[in-house]
């Protein structure tokens, strides 16, 4: 039996039950509505009768006044009232209600008519014996009035009884329909429960088995499928089994290259990583394509994907059937050479490198070539862990790339190149962590005026230290080369500028005593419009006077990107900031660019200053720089001043400021680490 047959049976039974309930309830609702209408009609009749009684009462009072006191001027009003009552009775007759009957209404109308005749007679009585005639008319009128009131009272009592009875019937009808509703829906619910139990036995149990099997498959177990049950469930089980197998394949393979993906490769590597037999070894290789980004950027992602698919075929054809090849992501691949020594691995990888070099990719009329940098590491009984294996292969691959690309590099314990590479990777992670967690420490070193004996205002340079996770400080000579290599300069500069300006805005006394706060900027920041906008926004946000800040840029950075350097300097000088050319003299063309850079201060490179008393060339260089600076109207600062002798000589030369350990070592300004 198919599922639709079960469902059709259940649906038809529910529809039939619902239809029967609808018939029963609709009949009961009709009865209840009829009782409600009857009650409403009787209430309306009661209201009409009450209105009639009120009119009759007013009419009879007027009649008594006319006939009893002789106030015949009220006759016309009483007659009008009588005619109005007769019209009301005619309207009640036309409604054809059994309450009151037409006969009863006619009797009431007749009494009113006869009384009105007495009024007509009273209106034309002669003056003689008038009182006697009125008295006789009043007696006749009272008899009729008494009969009229009795009829109205009897009618009112009867109608009130009918209204009460109709109300009782309405209440009973509503109570009965409520009971019928409960019984109907209770019976229907019982029927649904029985149908559910029946359907559960026939359909739900196989479906539950199918669901449990799917859950087992999701958790990594086997999907055995359902063999007994409705035909659709068995077919669904078969389709699910095929889909599960397909999803498992997709979850383990890269969609573009059909190679294993990173997750599946990690599982495979974990099975081979723990070697216990000294005679067994494997080789893990990381392959990173060279110049792939150029192809991807030039020809588009579609071309890049096609090239990756070609490389995947080369890798797959270059290994043995027992080996595993995976795409880790982007242009990075991994190869696990099982039961392989290092020499065999080198030969296989070198053949792969050559095969990739022979790949020619044509896009339109252009032909592109790529190469590969490959890192290898041995897996044997001495291998510590999977993580160490991956790090070793990754580091070896990076060394191959940094060494010129299109080459192999084998990881060996004690390899200084690999050690340096790993040290750099660890250090760049520490730098990123320090920036992410705000582990930033700012120091300051005074800059001393050489020709002012009692300078009240402070001049100092902000110096940066980073704090590692263990609390030790990382100094600029350690992190600046990596910051430049990994393009972290703008981010680092924004942190320093923001922290320094925030600290000064929170310490107004320090700001008041400040003449110059010098902050270093990297060459990457000079070429960044975002960095310029950040500094401008920060100055405006804090409201600090821009003339108190001097930004130091190196001679090399300024010359490397002269156009952007000029634009950057002009943007901040427009606000009032000053600029210093740092480490001046270390470049190859220093003097040639002095005229083109709108800087205010020239900082003489400390390599000339610290040994100038023992080296005539250095002394002459310092003098020359100072003379050129004076000629251009710029001030000079000598770095690395470490003795009184050097300080005196600098003063005699005419250098404006000095900075170095002779005066002060850098001192803590603010520690931002939490």
Express each pLDDT in 552-562 by its tens digit. 998 777 777 78
**Domain co-membership, 657 together with 561:** yes
Q: Which structural domain, as residue segments, surrounds residue 24?
A: 3-190
**Domain co-membership, 374 together with 447:** no
Once rounded to an integer, what is the mean pLDDT over residues 22-43?
72
**SS3 letters across 620-658:** HHHHHHHHHHHHCCCEEEECCCCCHHHHHHHHHHCCCEE
In the predicted structure, residue 33 carries a pLDDT above the cut 50: yes
**Domain co-membership, 47 together with 110:** yes
pLDDT for 156: 75
Per residue in 454-463, pLDDT (tens digit) is: 667 899 999 9
Nearest CA to 583 out of 553, 561, 612, 562 is that of: 553
Distance of CA 143 to the CA centre of its chain: 94
**SS3 letters across 503-515:** HHHHCHHHHHHEE
Per residue in 110-130, pLDDT (tens digit) is: 777 777 777 777 666 666 666
| pLDDT over 70 percentage in the chain | 88
pLDDT for 56: 77
The strand pairing partners of 360, in sequence order, are: 369
> CB of 521 within 8 A of CB of 552?
yes
The strand pairing partners of 363, in sequence order, are: 366
**Domain co-membership, 510 together with 640:** yes
pLDDT for 126: 64
Q: Token digits for 645?
A: 């002798």
> CB of 348 within 8 A of CB of 382?
no
Is residue 472 in a domain? no
Per residue in 623-649, pLDDT (tens digit) is: 999 999 999 999 999 999 999 999 999
Is residue 42 in a domain? yes
**Domain co-membership, 596 together with 508:** yes
In the predicted structure, residue 232 carries a pLDDT above the cut 90: no
User: pTM to 2 decimals?
Assistant: 0.50
In the predicted structure, residue 650 carries a pLDDT above the cut 90: yes
- More confident of the two residues 583 and 77: 583
Q: Is 460 helix (H, G, I), strand (E, B) or coil?
A: strand
Is residue 198 in a domain? no
pLDDT for 350: 94
> CB of 424 within 8 A of CB of 412?
no
Per residue in 196-228, pLDDT (tens digit) is: 777 777 777 777 777 877 777 776 677 777 767
- More confident of the two residues 668 and 76: 668
Is residue 505 in a domain? yes
**Domain co-membership, 362 together with 452:** no
**SS3 letters across 412-451:** CCCCHHHHHHHHHHHHHHHHHHHHHCCCEEEEEEECEECC
CATH code: domain of residue 653: 3.20.20.450
Is residue 425 in a domain? no
> CB of 436 within 8 A of CB of 663?
no
Does a cis peptide bond (omega within 30 degrees of 0) precede residue 352? no
Q: Give Cα separations from 569 to 525, 543, 600 (angstroms).
A: 11, 20, 11
| pLDDT over 90 percentage in the chain | 36
Cβ contacts of 632 within 8 Å, gap of 6 or more: 594, 595
- More confident of the two residues 469 and 449: 449
Q: Sorting pLDDT into bands at 50, 70 and 90, what band is 407?
A: very high
Per residue in 58-75, pLDDT (tens digit) is: 777 777 776 766 666 777
In the predicted structure, residue 16 carries a pLDDT above the cut 70: yes
**Domain co-membership, 361 together with 493:** no
pLDDT for 588: 45
Domain boundary among the residues 190, 209, 244 is at 190
**Domain co-membership, 399 together with 282:** yes
**Domain co-membership, 631 together with 520:** yes
Domain boundary among the residues 135, 155, 190 is at 190
Calpha distance 558→522 (Å, rounded)? 9
Once rounded to an integer, what is the mean pLDDT over residues 508-537?
93
pLDDT for 528: 87
If you average pLDDT over each of 14-28, 54-68, 426-440, which comes out highest? 426-440
Q: What is the DSSP letter of 220?
A: T
Nearest CA to 423 out of 387, 390, 398, 389 is that of: 398
Instruction: Count the helix, strand and coil residues of the chain and give each as a percent rounded to the nearest 5.
Output: 65, 15, 25
Domain boundary among the residues 190, 211, 239 is at 190
**SS3 letters across 311-336:** HHHHHHHCCCCCCEEEEEECCEEEEE
pLDDT for 131: 67
**Domain co-membership, 449 together with 403:** no
pLDDT for 96: 59
CATH code: domain of residue 61: 1.20.1330
Is residue 312 in a domain? yes
Helix axes 416-436, 386-402, angle to 10 degrees: 100
Q: Token digits for 603?
A: 């900082």
**Domain co-membership, 445 together with 513:** yes
Token pair 């008038």 is at which residue? Answer: 130
How many structural domains are present in the chain? 3
**Domain co-membership, 374 together with 449:** no
pLDDT for 638: 96
Once rounded to an integer, what is the mean pLDDT over residues 385-400?
88
Per residue in 456-500, pLDDT (tens digit) is: 789 999 999 988 878 888 888 888 888 887 788 999 999 999 999
Is residue 168 in a domain? yes
Is residue 252 in a domain? no
In the predicted structure, residue 275 carries a pLDDT above the cut 50: yes
CATH code: domain of residue 269: 3.30.70.270
């Amino acid at each position: 039996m198919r599922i639709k047959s079960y469902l059709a049976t259940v649906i038809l039974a529910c529809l039939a039950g619902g239809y029967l309930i609808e018939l029963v309830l609709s009949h009961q609702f009709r009865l209840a509505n009829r009782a409600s209408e009857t009650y409403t009609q009787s209430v309306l009749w009661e209201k009409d009768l009450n209105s009639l009684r009120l009119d009759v009462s007013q009419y009879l009072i007027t009649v008594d006044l006319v006939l009893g006191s002789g106030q015949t001027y009220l006759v016309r009003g009483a007659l009008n009232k009588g005619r109005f009552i007769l019209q009301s009775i005619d309207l009640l007759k036309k409604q054809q209600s059994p309450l009151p009957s037409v006969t009863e209404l006619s009797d009431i109308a007749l009494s009113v008519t006869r009384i009105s005749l007495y009024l007509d007679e009273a209106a034309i009585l002669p003056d003689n014996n008038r009182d006697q005639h009125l008295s006789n008319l009043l007696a006749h009128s009272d008899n009729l009035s008494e009969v009229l009131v009795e009829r109205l009272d009897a009618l009112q009592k009867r109608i009130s009884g009918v209204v009460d009875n109709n109300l009782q019937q309405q209440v009973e009808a509503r109570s009965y329909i409520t009971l019928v509703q409960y019984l109907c829906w209770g019976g229907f619910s019982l029927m649904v429960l029985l149908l559910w139990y029946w359907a559960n036995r026939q359909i739900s149990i196989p479906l539950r088995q199918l669901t449990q099997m799917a859950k087992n498959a999701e958790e990594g177990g086997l999907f055995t499928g359902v063999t007994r049950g409705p035909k659709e469930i068995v077919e669904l089980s078969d389709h699910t089994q095929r889909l599960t197998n397909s999803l498992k394949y997709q979850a383990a393979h890269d969609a573009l290259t059909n190679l294993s993906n990173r997750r599946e490769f990690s599982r495979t590597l974990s099975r081979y990583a723990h070697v216990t037999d000294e005679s067994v070894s494997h080789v893990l290789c990381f392959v990173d394509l060279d110049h792939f980004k150029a192809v991807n950027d030039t020809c588009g992602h579609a071309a890049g994907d096609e090239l990756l698919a070609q490389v995947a075929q080369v890798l797959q054809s270059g290994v043995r059937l027992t080996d595993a090849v995976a795409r880790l992501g982007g242009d990075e691949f991994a190869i696990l050479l099982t039961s392989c020594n290092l020499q065999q691995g080198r030969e296989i990888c070198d053949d792969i490198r050559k095969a990739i070099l022979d790949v020619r990719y044509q896009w339109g009329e252009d032909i592109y070539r790529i190469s590969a940098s490959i890192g290898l590491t041995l897996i044997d009984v001495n291998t510590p862990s999977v993580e160490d294996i991956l790090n070793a292969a990754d580091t070896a691959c990076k060394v191959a790339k940094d060494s010129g690309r299109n080459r192999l590099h084998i990881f060996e314990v004690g390899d200084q190149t690999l050690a340096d590479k790993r040290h750099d990777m660890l250090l760049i992670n520490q730098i990123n962590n320090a920036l992410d967690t705000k582990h930033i420490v700012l120091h300051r070193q005074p800059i001393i005026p050489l020709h002012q004996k009692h300078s009240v205002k402070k001049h100092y340079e902000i110096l940066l230290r980073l704090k590692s996770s263990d609390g030790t400080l990382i100094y600029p000579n350690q992190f600046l080369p990596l910051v430049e290599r990994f393009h972290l300069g703008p981010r680092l500069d924004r942190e320093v500028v923001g922290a320094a300006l925030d600290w000064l805005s929170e310490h107004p006394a320090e700001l008041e005593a400040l003449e110059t706060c010098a902050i270093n900027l990297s060459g990457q920041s000079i070429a960044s419009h975002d960095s310029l906008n950040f500094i401008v926004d920060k100055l405006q946000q804090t409201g600090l006077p821009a003339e108190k800040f001097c930004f130091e840029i190196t001679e090399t950075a300024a010359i490397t990107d002269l156009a952007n350097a000029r634009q950057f300097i002009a943007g901040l000088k427009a606000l009032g900031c000053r600029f210093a050319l740092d480490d001046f003299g270390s470049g190859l063309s220093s003097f040639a660019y002095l005229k083109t850079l709108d800087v205010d201060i020239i900082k003489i490179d400390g390599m000339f200053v610290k040994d100038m008393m023992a080296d005539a060339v250095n002394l002459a260089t310092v003098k020359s720089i100072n003379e050129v600076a004076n000629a251009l109207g710029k001030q000079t600062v000598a770095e690395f001043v470490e003795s009184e002798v050097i300080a005196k000589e600098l003063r005699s030369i005419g250098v404006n400021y000095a900075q170095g350990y002779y005066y002060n070592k850098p001192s803590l300004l603010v520690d931002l680490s939490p």
